[in-house]
Structures are given as structure tokens and as C-alpha cells.
Amino acid sequence: MTGNAILELRRGPVPAAIAGAAAVAGFAPLGWSLFAPLALAFLFHLWICTDSPRRAALLGFAFGLGHFGAGVSWIYVSLHDFGDMPAPLAAIATALYCGYLALFPALVGSLQARSGTGRAVRLLIVIPALWMLAEWVRSWLLGGFPWLAQGYAQIDTPLAGYAPLVGVYGLSFAAALFAGLIVLLATGHARIPLRPSAGVRLYSVAGIALLLAAGGALRWIEWTSPAGKPLAVALVQGDIAQSLKFDPRRYVATLSTYLRLVEGTHARLVVLPETAIPRFLEAVDPAYLDALARPVRARGGDLLLGVPTSDRAGRYFNSVVSLGASPAQIYSKSHLVPLGEFVPPEFGWIVRILSIPLSDFTPGAVRPEPIAAAGERIAVDICYEDAFGEEIIRQLPQASLLVNVSNVAWFGDSLAPAQHLQISRMRALETGRTMLRATNTGVTAIVDAHGRVAGRLPQFTEAVLEGTVQGRTGATPYVRFGNAPALALALAALIAALAWPAVSARAQSR
């Protein structure tokens, strides 16, 4: 094999796919944060070594296949292990979905190659901006799937200080910029006139130091402040196996489990998981609901219960209801899971293959009011709704606490539960609010207002997590403005970078 052939192999799609898979180590559960920007840096290096948009797209697609193939392989678990889809069909469906997700880095690769800008501009402006914009589009296109946004991998690094300002997508921009600086530092070639390679490396080191130092300094800012007295909370993890959860023969045992766990708590706010009671609220014995709420009500507290509800029009909702000393209230999930909680008409054939109960929900209110319970105003979200930061802030700054109830038993013992906890940590950091997570099989956790895990339960155990939390008031910049500042910054930087060659050429022609 010739030297050119070896070089071509080392710069080909296979190493790009390996780098994409390696980037997953930067996310939970491993949390080796540096892996993510290093993997991006490798991809960016491959991109600037080619001027072919088609090849750059191929490299981006390979990176995406490796990244999502390794990082969201748990989709197969939900389709096959719990949805009863035949294994070959589940494997094909998972591969096709990962292929769809891989189109986003492929598009970034093609567009940056077509930008006509120099390598340094591509690495420090064009690629980070396009990467961030692609993640943002992925978060809402076709219902949205914002999993594995690069910003999540930086939750435990100095870069996390940017999250309360510009959210996870702004943090992704910072991570991609970090990766671009790594490429410049490692290669020293930038096609910048009158600047030698050593100078490029010096500026790269300075850029990395400034990026990290500014993020670290921002972590010291208290964007929100304590409000009211500390609150004793209890998060109930029933550990009801997904294969048994909707079995009518298991219903009485499920009710008994939750009643016993609630009766053993001593908190003013008790939270049960998503669809903890696998039967419509209207069909649940009122005497049981009263027994469930009685010990909490006696302490002047409230209980949040995940349970499906329906209305007189025959619509179904995935809901959380409050029971206890405060007036009864309800929150219904607004961002439903396509093919899991609602079915577009053209995809009805897929659901006929799957065994998914309660797959025809109606979305709840787009702008819900926080639930007033246990002396707090609580912004409730259900399952993967907490992956959408701008939807969480719709209940802020009025809400003093965040609560997520989930049933990630659908994904078994996979990467999904740990990744979901990492997402919840980012929502706490963005909003400056404590996040309480009550799940069926894990990860049940208390996350403080700085995104740190203050307490958690082991997965696949029946237990209650008790702790004391503090409600907070005030608003971070992200709560006030959402993703708009990050999007505006990326677009402005991209427009300036693309316009600069033309402006420079006109100036030189005069």
C-alpha cells in the first residue's frame, strides 16, 4: 500500500465513524468530557484537509453514524425488547433513524466546505456556528430529537458556565470552538498571511485559556436566589418492570407498592413517576387516592402523581395530578413522543407492529401554569420534555422548583437513563433551579441549582430518595431570552465570516 493510500485511509470515513463513536464517552454515564471536543477536533481536521463538499459530507455522515449508532442504540431496546418488534425490523429501524440523525453533521460538512473561507475562519467561526445551528434544527424538526447535543458533554467542565447565558446550544458552540482551537494548536496551519505557524499556536493556546477561564468565572455567578424555607422532599422509585407495568394482573400489586412507599415517607412534597398508576385517573378507586394522599396531607404537604387522564371529549392525556393539602391541579404533557404517545396517520402501520400501550395521547397546554404545591410553585415536565430547554422556561421565572417524572424502563439497562439525567442537570443549570427527578426504574435524583447531583438512587431498586431542597427565585439570561441570543450570535458570526472575503476583495481592488 502506497503512502498516499495509507494517508487516504487515515483521512477516510472509517476513522471518522470511530471518532464519532468515541465522542459518546464524553457523555454520561462515562462522562469523559474531553473525549467529545477531541473527537470533534479530529472530524474538523478531516474537513479542512479536503475542499470537496461531497467528501466533507461523507465524513460528517460517517461521524454521525458512529456517534448516534453508539450513543442512541437504546432505541433498538425499546422497539424490540419492550415494543415486541421483530429483531431484524427493529435493527433496520434503528439504523435508519441513526442515518437520519447523521444527515445533520453531513450537512455541516458540506456547507463549511462550500463557504469559501480560510481554514482558521472555518475552524473558529463557520464550523462552530453551523454545528450549533444544525443541533438546534435537529431539536425541533420532525418532532425533535435533541439527544447528544455537544453541550451536554461539558456539564462538568468550565465551559458549563456559559449555560445560564446561552443554553445548551450556546454551550455546543463553545465546545465546537474549543475543538477548532485544538486543531489549530495541533496543526499550526491556518493560511493567515504574515502569521507564522508558531504564532498560530500561541493564539490557539490563548484562545483556549480565555474560553475556559471565562466559562469558569461565570460558574461563580449566582443568577438566582433562595426563596422561602427549605422543603423536605421524597422521590418514589417503584421499580415496576416494563414488561409487567401494564399487565392487569399486576395492577393491585402496583397500587400496594406505591402506597407502602408513600406511607414510609416524612416529606412535605412526595413525587411519584410517570404513569405510576397504569390506569386512567377516572377509573382509579377514590378511596385509594385518598389513602395515598392522606399521610402527606397530614403534614400540610402534597403529592404529585403520574397518571393518564381523559376528558369528556374522549381525549387522553399523559398527566401529573396533585393530591394533598393544596387544591387539586393537573399538568398534561404537551411535547409527545412521535409513534410512542401519538401516531401520525401515515405511520399507523408501525404501531400495529409494536406493542405500545397508551399510544394515542392528546397534547396538553403549550403554556401551562406551574403547580402550586407544598408552598412552592413547581414547573412539571414529563419524560423527555426536559430535553427541550425553551419549553421548560415557559413556566419560569414564576416556578421555584423543577420536577421531571419519567418512565425510562422502556430502554432497559442502557445508556439512556444516565443520558437523561445529564439532560436534567443541564436544565437545572440553565434555569438556576433545583430539579427533582422521580422515575420508575432510575435514575431518580435530586439535582441542585448548579446542575450537581445532590442525591440519587441506584437503578432497578424499589426505594425512596429523601432530601431537603431550596426553592429559588429570579431569572438567568437563558430563562429571559431562551435560545435567541445563541442563535443570533451564531448567525451574525456566520454572516460576517461569509461576507468578509467579498468585502476584503473589494477593498483590495480600490
Rounded to an integer, the average pLDDT of 261-290 is 96
Do 385 and 488 sit in the same domain of this protein? no
Where residue 337 sits, what CATH number does that domain have? 3.60.110.10
Q: What is the reported pLDDT for 196? A: 43
Rounded to an integer, the average pLDDT of 198-208 is 86
Rounded to an integer, the average pLDDT of 440-450 is 95
Work out the percent of the chain whose per-residue pLDDT is above 70: 89
Residues 333, 341, 385, 430: which is the catalytic one? 333
In-domain check, residue 46: yes
Do 68 and 80 sit in the same domain of this protein? yes
Work out the percent of the chain whose per-residue pLDDT is above 90: 74
In-domain check, residue 3: no
In-domain check, residue 245: yes
Do 497 and 458 sit in the same domain of this protein? no
| Number of structural domains in the chain | 2
Question: Is the per-residue pLDDT at 362 higher than 90?
Answer: no
Do 59 and 180 sit in the same domain of this protein? yes
Q: Which amino acid, 268? A: R
Do 214 and 151 sit in the same domain of this protein? yes
In-domain check, residue 4: no
**119-165 tens-digit pLDDT:** 999 999 999 999 999 999 999 998 889 999 999 999 999 999 999 99
User: Cell numbers at residue 245, please?
Assistant: 407495568
When mean pLDDT is compared across 164-168, 224-228, 323-327, 364-368, the lowest value belongs to 364-368
Q: What is the reported pLDDT for 342? A: 53
Overall pTM > 0.85 = yes
Do 149 and 188 sit in the same domain of this protein? yes
Do 310 and 165 sit in the same domain of this protein? no
User: Would residue 383 show up in a list of annotated catalytic residues for this protein?
Assistant: yes
Question: Is the per-residue pLDDT at 109 higher than 80?
Answer: yes
Q: Which helix (H) or strand (E) holds 231?
A: strand 231-237
Question: Is the per-residue pLDDT at 339 higher than 50?
Answer: yes
| Cα distance from N-terminal residue to C-terminal residue, the chain | 51
Measured in degrees and rounded to the nearest 5, phi and psi for residue 315 equal -90, 150
The band of 508, judged by pLDDT with boundaries at 50, 70 and 90, is low
* Of 175, 174, 107, 93, the residue nearest 138 (C-alpha): 107
* Of 465, 460, 461, the residue nearest 447 (C-alpha): 465
Q: Which single residue is written with the C-alpha cell 439570561? A: 477
In whole angstroms, give the CA distance from residue 451 to residue 24.
20
Q: Are strands 371-373 and 330-332 parallel, antiparallel or unpaired?
A: unpaired
Do 383 and 354 sit in the same domain of this protein? yes
Do 240 and 138 sit in the same domain of this protein? no
In-domain check, residue 29: yes
- 298 Cβ neighbours under 8 A, 6+ residues apart: none
Question: Is the per-residue pLDDT at 351 higher than 70?
Answer: no
Count of other CB atoms within 10 angstroms of residue 288: 14
Q: What is the reported pLDDT for 253? A: 94
The band of 413, judged by pLDDT with boundaries at 50, 70 and 90, is confident
Residues 274, 341, 376, 385: which is the catalytic one? 274
The band of 355, judged by pLDDT with boundaries at 50, 70 and 90, is low
Q: What is the reported pLDDT for 323? A: 97
Do 502 and 448 sit in the same domain of this protein? no
In whole angstroms, give the CA distance from residue 387 to residue 391.
9
Boundaries of domain holding 134 = 9-222+483-509
In whole angstroms, give the CA distance from residue 410 to residue 442.
11
**209-220 tens-digit pLDDT:** 999 999 999 999
In-domain check, residue 205: yes
Residues 383, 385, 391, 430: which is the catalytic one? 383
Sheet containing 330-332: order of strands: 330-332, 316-324, 302-310, 269-271, 231-237, 463-469
Q: What is the reported pLDDT for 301? A: 97
In whole angstroms, give the CA distance from residue 151 to residue 172.
4
Q: Which single residue is written with the C-alpha cell 494548536? A: 185
User: Would residue 333 show up in a list of annotated catalytic residues for this protein?
Assistant: yes
User: Would residue 466 show up in a list of annotated catalytic residues for this protein?
Assistant: no
In-domain check, residue 305: yes
Q: Which amino acid, 295? A: P
User: What is the total residue count of the chain?
Assistant: 510
**10-53 tens-digit pLDDT:** 678 999 999 999 999 999 999 999 999 999 999 999 999 998 99
pLDDT averaged over every residue in the chain:
90
Rounded to an integer, the average pLDDT of 57-72 is 97
Do 338 and 431 sit in the same domain of this protein? yes
The band of 78, judged by pLDDT with boundaries at 50, 70 and 90, is confident
